[in-house]
Structure 1
Amino acid sequence: MNNQANIGIVGQLYEAFSRKDIAGMMALMSEDIEWGEPENPYNPAGGTRRGHAGFLEWLNIGRNAEEILILSPKRFLSDQDSVAVVGYMKCKAVKTGKIYESDFVHLAVIENNKIVKFQEFFDTYVAGEAFR
């Protein structure tokens, strides 16, 4: 797989996410995908989930817990089996109404044209404070 093809796959994931196209997102993922974001006692979506069922669980928790106001990938960096995405997000915690902002890095690992791992990195402190 080449770097541009990997970037294309991950770019399609962001496009499907922005359209709320769940089937489109899952078509880009391996059936045993590992999907994770940092643990945080106040963020209900934190932790690692596996498989399409785990991704759907994460998605449903996220939908009920926060509203994504901005998810803006700025830069895609790739090597032969992974893509790092650097960007900015702004979200609103549903329960508290508080808004938080953070830069992020998302790391996607790709095998056989499918995303097998997706890991989020962002400011968990500001996110946790919004949920408290």
Structure 2
Amino acid sequence: MTEEESNNVALLEKGYAFWHQSKADCEGVSCWMDLLSEDVQWRSLAAGAAGVEFTLACRSKDEVQRYFQDLGKDWEMVSYNVHEFIAQGDRVVMLGSCEWKHRSTGKIMKSPKADVHRLRDGKVVDFMEFYDTAAALEAAG
């Protein structure tokens, strides 16, 4: 692994560890916001579908802040586990799993999770998350 790849993985390891530990509270969100470039592109597999509107694509740090605020309104983190990181060049993939409880329905969504990051100068400039969208939509009711 190159030095750049090692540095990128180390940054994301810290971010994910804090995210899991904080259960997605304000401090956890703050940690992620510190890792993002101002012009970050942030995308989600659900792409703003009905019931998970917070997943609409973001094109700035301010829009990602909205993503996290809306996520927290509707969902409560049960668990978020990282299984491994794969790095090549400026890209890092996180493979893991997560569980979220929908605040209105009380239903729990469990899913494998894959996040693809591209970093530049120690900041995330591109993010795409993959998860079981059918489970999320089912839990959202």
Match of 1:36 in 2: 43
Structure 2, unmatched stretches of 5+, are none
8 Å CA contact retained: 2:33, 2:65: no
User: How many pairs were matched up?
Assistant: 132
Greater mean alpha carbon deviation, residues 8-17 or residues 82-91: 8-17
CA separation in 2, counterparts of 1:68 and 1:23?
A: 16
Greater mean alpha carbon deviation, residues 17-26 or residues 31-40: 17-26
Deviation string, structure 1 residues 71-119 (Cα, Å, up to 9, x no partner): 1011100001010000010111111111110001001110111111111
Structure 1 residue ranges (4+ consecutive) displaced by more than 4 angstroms after TM superposition: none
Deviation string, structure 1 residues 18-39 (Cα, Å, up to 9, x no partner): 3342333222110111112122
TM-score when normalising by structure 2: 0.87
**CA-atom RMSD, angstroms?**
1.4
The one-letter code matched in structure 1 to 2:43 is: G
2:50 is the alignment partner of 1:48: no
The one-letter code matched in structure 1 to 2:8 is: N
Q: 1:89 is matched with which residue: 87, 98, 104?
A: 98
2:129 is the alignment partner of 1:127: no
Structure 1, unmatched stretches of 5+, are none
Aligned residues: percent identity? Answer: 23
TM-score when normalising by structure 1: 0.92
The one-letter code matched in structure 2 to 1:45 is: F
Q: Which has the higher strand share?
A: 1
CA separation in 1, counterparts of 2:62 and 2:139?
A: 27
